[in-house]
Each structure stands twice: as C-alpha cells, then as structure tokens.
Amino acid sequence: MSDFVNDFWNFYVVVIVLVSILACAVLLYVQSKGKVNQGVTMGHVWDETLEEYNNPMPKWWSWLFYITVIFALVYLALYPGLGNFKGVLGWTSAGQHQAEVAKVDAQVKPLFDKYLKMDVAAVAADKDANEMGKRLYLTYCMQCHGADARGAKGFPNLADNDWQWGGESAQIVETISNGRMGVMPPHAQLGAETIKDLANYVRSLSGLPADSVRVAKGQEAFATAGCSACHGPDAHGMHALGAPNLTDKVWLYGSSEATIIETITKGRNNQMPAWKDFLGEAKVHLLAGYVYSLSAGGEKK
C-alpha cells in the first residue's frame, strides 16, 4: 500500500493534471492560428442540401474554452486537486462538514439544553421532545431495532416489558451512551445430553412443552454447571451482567429446542455500539426519553 502514497505518485498526479490543462490551451491556440479556407465544403452532404463547410469556430466560442482553462488553473490554485497540495484556501470537505454541523448545533443548542435540564421521564412525557427523540431513533436506531422498535432476531424489542440491562432512566442513558457487550459463553464442554437437558429445563421455565425427565436433570445441571451464577438461582436474570430473564416468554434468538441448544453450546455475542461521542449528551438524552416512553418507562422488568 505504501507504493501508492509515496512522493512519486504525488508528482505523477500533478504532471498529468497540469499537462492535460495546458495541452487543451495549446490545442485551442494552434487551432485559432491555423489557416482555414472558408467557403470550401468538406464533401459531406446530408438531406440533399445540408453541407459541412470548413469554417473556423466563432471567436466567442473559442474564448469560452480559454475561460475554462483559466478557471481550472485558478481552481487548482485555491482548492485541493494537485496531488498533496491543499490549495491556498486550505479547504477540505471534512472541514466544511464540521463547519456546517457546528452552525446547526449552535442554532439548536438552546432547545437541546432545555430538554437536557429535564429528567428522562419528563422528556418522555413532553410531546415535542418525544417527537425529536423519535426522529433520532428513526435515523440511528431503526436499522437494528426496527422502525416500530420491536427488534428482530438478536436485536432486543424496545417496546415490550423486558429489559436485559435494566429499564431505569439512568440505565437507558448508560446503554445508549457507552454501549453494551452481551456475552453468553459457550458450554460445549457439558456434553450434548446435559445441554439438551438444560434446553428442556429452560423451555419449561416459560411454560413451553418439554420432556419432564430432562427437565428434572436440567434443573440440577442449571445449578451445578454455573448457569445460576449469571441468570440467578430463580433464572430471573441479572441486569448488572446483562443476563436475560429465562422465566418470561421473551426470546432474543428463538425458543425452539434446537435454538436453545445452539445458544448453550456455542454461546452468543451481542454488541450495542456506544453513541455518546457521535451524538453528544443532549441527543442521547432525547433518545433515552423516547425509548423510556415506548413501554411506560420505568415499569419494565
């Protein structure tokens, strides 16, 4: 890769660009000085009477081409285009974007500051703030959690009464700000039979059909194999670890025996990206208010 970023390629680009522009200027000059036998046809005739004559271009048309050459040279002097040369003005697309963002932020900052001073529950109850939070959600969050916030396989439903990391306002802000890393370690070492027992036990916790013999064995394995350390002895989960409640009817990857066996055997890895640095504290606060409002915030499990 270093072969394409050394000084040779910078020189190569500069030469190609300048030679191309100057060649256009030379061609225009040569053509303007050449002798033309006006009134002599080129021997091409269309539609019986339409003939092609060897006449020079109008002067105004030639000067338009000269102006484009001059414009190109001035542009390349002011803006980047000649290899590594940044231009006299020092303009960059990134700099312009940052300036535009800063301008917009300055215009909306008073409004954002107003809502930032309110707690998340109050933001959730404010119609205008909630609408702003919804627009932020549809811009940054719907790709994973869906336009209706009901999630998909591997992406949590934000509109139900279940929380993996806790549904208090501070917990929601923490999740959006700094992200989460959900890890279910693989337990293939337990063996196929024990894992199948565990799968049946977990299914029984949600009232799903399960083999009663395997359920009994699975319950014992749940306590001895380390499952209770994360999900709790009652399998109600643990928000601090992001360990889901196994006794409800909420499934992130599916409730079939085969899916649960796959989860126990291979484990799962889920990451919620951090948004604080990208969105800023005020936008995160509005997003948290919207998410909080989706399921009567604070009343979720």
| 60 in the same domain as 120 | no
192 in the same domain as 141: no
Domain count, the chain: 3
Is the same domain home to 124 and 245?
no
Domain end, chosen from 78, 111, 132, is at 78
Q: Is 92 a member of any domain?
A: no
What pLDDT shows up at residue 133?
96
Residue with tokens 């989960």: 237
Residue 173 lies in a domain: yes
* One domain for residues 168 and 289: yes
CA distances from 11 to 25, 37, 84, 232 (A): 21, 43, 9, 66
- Give, as one character, the DSSP assignment of residue 245: P
pLDDT band for position 49 (cuts 50, 70, 90): confident
In a domain, 264, yes or no: yes
Shared domain check, 146 and 283: yes
Q: Domain of 137: which CATH number?
A: 1.10.760.10
Averaged pLDDT for residues 26-47? 78
User: Is 67 part of any domain?
Assistant: yes
129-137 LR contacts (CB < 8 Å, sep 24+): 129/286, 129/289, 130/289, 130/290, 130/293, 132/286, 133/286, 133/287, 133/288, 133/289, 133/290, 133/291, 133/293, 134/290, 136/279, 136/283, 136/286, 136/287, 136/290, 137/287, 137/290, 137/291
Domain limits for position 116: 100-179+273-293
Please indicate, yes or no, whether residues 172 and 289 belong to a single structural domain of this protein: yes
The predicted pLDDT at position 212 comes to 96
The pLDDT tens digits of the residues spanning 180-216 come to 999 999 999 999 999 999 999 999 999 999 999 999 9
- pLDDT > 50? residue 298: no
Q: Which pLDDT score, from 0 to 100, does residue 62 have?
A: 86
pTM exceeding the 0.85 threshold for the entire prediction: no
Over residues 223-240, mean pLDDT: 93
